[in-house]
Amino acid sequence: MSKLRVAVLGGGGRIGSEAVRAVEAAEDMELVASLGRGDKLETLVDAGAQVAVDLTTPASVMGNLDFCVRHGIHAVVGTTGWTDERLAQLKGWLDQSPETGVLIAPNFSIGAVLTMKFAQIAAPWFESVEVVELHHPNKVDAPSGTATRTAQLIAEARRKAGTAEAPDATVTALDGARGADVDGVPVHAVRLRGLLAHQEVLLGGEGETLTLRHDSLHHSSFMPGILLGVRRVGSAPGLTFGLEHFLDLG
């Protein structure tokens, strides 16, 4: 059977370099290109890439995806910075190239995907819910893509269940003291040397609390999800948002 021809954009970065090694080690894949900032995207076409993995920056990802979709190259995207406007623009490009698939995964690790799922289930059952994400200090965006998505899913679950707003008597606060407001859910971002990627969802009800915590201790935690995305994205035309759609979580 012929191998999947895979390129990595951002192949010199923290997660990109790990992805390059993972693709090289996968028996059913061939790494045909690893691109850094300033490298020509035409290389993807010359190399015959079927799937591009984007692990670059929020400032670069849209240009990369515009190129990939126009050239019918499927994309697996871990890069953060997604807004409704960006998603709408991407969907517009995909409408012009209906056989192309793009997977955007706010987090490729199975533990993080499950944390989001558990948070969705728990959120309507508690009065209060807040998200704390903790990352290495080289991260350029805050809050993390994972925390943003987690908060959106929590808010959606509470809206559907008709849950009341979380109690909060704060009348005076320093800027940022109560975190960022993501769909009504406070999200707090910590940047600390020594950390990689961590998240807590704190839920509180009368007389009890529940804490969901996930820790990515090494970039290897993201690799099975990236490889799964690469294998599946070609048979999922259009936009898939979230790795959970490629997992049978019940």
Ligand X SMILES: O=C(O)C1=N[C@H](C(=O)O)C[C@H](O)C1
Ligand Y SMILES: NC(=O)C1=CN([C@@H]2O[C@H](COP(=O)(O)OP(=O)(O)OC[C@H]3O[C@@H](n4cnc5c(N)ncnc54)[C@H](OP(=O)(O)O)[C@@H]3O)[C@@H](O)[C@H]2O)C=CC1
* Radius of gyration, CA atoms only, the chain: 19
Residues 70-89, mask of contacts with ligand X (x by CB under 6 A): ----------x---------
Which residues participate in the annotated binding site for NAD(+)? 10-15, 78-80, 105-108
Sign of CA dihedral 15, 58, 136, 131: negative
If you search the block for the tokens 């900032």, which residue do you land on?
A: 37
Residue sitting closest to ligand Y (CB): 13
Considering the candidates 74, 91, 117, 139, report the single residue annotated as catalytic.
139
- In the complex, least distance from residue 160 CB atom to ligand Y, rounded to whole angstroms: 26
- Binders of ligand X among residues 115 to 174 (CB under 6 A) are 135, 139, 144-146
Q: Give 135's contacts (C-beta < 8 A, 6+ positions apart).
A: 144, 189, 190, 191, 192, 195, 196, 197, 198
CA distance 111 to 93: 32
Which of 74, 117, 135, 219 is catalytic? The answer is 135
Complex with ligand Y: residue 106 or 179, whichever CB lies closer: 106
Measured in whole angstroms, how far is the alpha carbon of residue 250 from the centre of its chain? 21
Taking CB under 6 A as the rule, does residue 222 contact ligand Y? Answer: yes
**Angle at 202 (CA atoms; ends 199, 206), nearest 5 degrees:** 170
Active site residue 139: yes
Residues that bind ligand X (CB under 6 A): 80, 106-107, 135, 139, 144-146, 197
Give the residue numbers annotated as catalytic, written as ranges.
135, 139
Residue numbers of the site for ligand Y (CB under 6 A)? 9-10, 12-16, 35-37, 55-57, 60, 64, 78-80, 105-108, 145, 222
